[in-house]
Amino acid sequence: MLEHCAGLPLAITVLAGLVARKVTVEEWKTVYENVDVYIRRGTNLDQEYKGDQERAGASWVLALSYDDLPYRLKLCFLYLGHFSEDYEIPVKRLAQLWIAEVEVLEDVAYACLIELVERCMVQVGTFGSTKKIKTCHLHDLMRDLCLRQFLKFEDLVYIWRKYVLIDLRSVVCNFKLLRVLKFEGIMTDVELPSNIGNLVHLRFLSLRGSDVRRLPSSLGNLVCLQTLDLSLHLYLPFGYRGKLKLATLGNLQSLVNVAGADCDLTHLAELTNLRKLLIRAGVKNMEEMLKSSGITFNHLRSLSLEVDDDDEVIPMNMVLSCPHIYKLELSGRIREQSLEGL
């Protein structure tokens, strides 16, 4: 089999990643018997890569490695193709998207990534402080494979080409089964349509870097929502004294970049699936609220508190109310006596 890899490192490592998972004689025979078929299929693909020895030599083994994937792993692998070439993919964001689109749990999503890495189909970029994979990326040839396989889903390609320029109201009206909506980097005034709550299947909503002027009340209808990213801009009406009503978002797993003053801590404590919380500013009264309510955030695993205002201090009793966190980020002023009990 190696003689057909044309001495190319990627083809050899991917083939090794494939056969390394075969433990029985029958599985090895199946792979061996299929090799000739894939080599012939790769010969046809070689016509696409005339003059490019690397792509031509690896095409058959990449096709074999893809077809050997279980169905769910195929979906996870194909999803990687929508990231741009040479992009370092944040694993946390990737897991959130897989959870929303492929319907896997967070732990399962990471296990899927590990298997793709072990199969040498995905390359590790960097590791985090806990030695878990922090970023990953695709080899150019692997990304080509993703795109070739994705083009078989003609309906999806047609929708993308037809609706390149659309407004949010069209999305709400025409894509009722939408699961992921990334509306990012729009710095002009943005107002979400009032009927966005009709997207009841939505699992991932990101307004990162967008100048959002208003969050419609129908947002509370998104009962399947797992990730809500409000990074950078969120403006509530002037003089507004209410709180964001998030208690109905029972499936929410990540909530980042919200002001403490805009959240009802009692509601946050009721979100039993909430694993990650990042509160940025507006924490002035949180300490007293926590003292009076006795709330405990038993399900949080990651907590970040950021305070820029000199008049505010980080409410350390918020940290003490999260007994199961394994990641803690604090940015701002801390009272010395508040460190007791940590």
Cβ-Cβ contacts under 8 Å for 65 (sequence gap 6 or more): 14, 15, 17, 18, 119, 120, 121
CATH of the domain at 274: 3.80.10.10
> Pick from 132, 153, 174: which residue ends a domain?
153
Give dist(CA 78, CA 273) in Å, integer: 27
Q: What share of the chain is helix, strand, coil (3-state, %, to 5)?
A: 45, 15, 40
Type of residue numbered 138: L
Within-domain flag for 47: no
pLDDT at 125: 96
Residues 326 and 220 in one domain: yes
Q: What is the pLDDT along the chain (342 residues), one digit of tens a residue?
A: 566 666 677 777 887 777 777 778 887 777 777 766 655 554 444 455 444 555 555 677 788 888 889 999 999 999 898 888 999 999 988 998 898 888 787 888 999 999 999 998 999 999 988 889 999 999 988 898 888 887 776 545 444 444 444 566 666 677 788 888 887 777 777 677 888 888 889 999 888 877 777 778 888 888 888 888 876 555 555 555 566 677 777 777 788 877 776 777 677 777 778 888 888 776 766 777 777 677 788 888 898 888 877 777 887 888 888 888 888 888 888 876 555 555
Give dist(CA 257, CA 277) in Å, integer: 8
Residues 219 and 135 in one domain: no
Type of residue numbered 131: K
Residues 261 and 131 in one domain: no
pLDDT at 297: 82
> Pick from 153, 182, 210: which residue ends a domain?
153
Give dist(CA 333, CA 283) in Å, integer: 12
> Pick from 153, 172, 204: which residue ends a domain?
153
pLDDT at 276: 87
pLDDT at 338: 56
Instruction: Supply the range of the domain harboring residue 138.
Output: 70-153
Give dist(CA 316, CA 84) in Å, integer: 40
For the chain, what is the domain count? 3
Helix (H) or strand (E) holding 290: helix 286-293
Within-domain flag for 93: yes
Residue position matching structure tokens 């939408």: 178
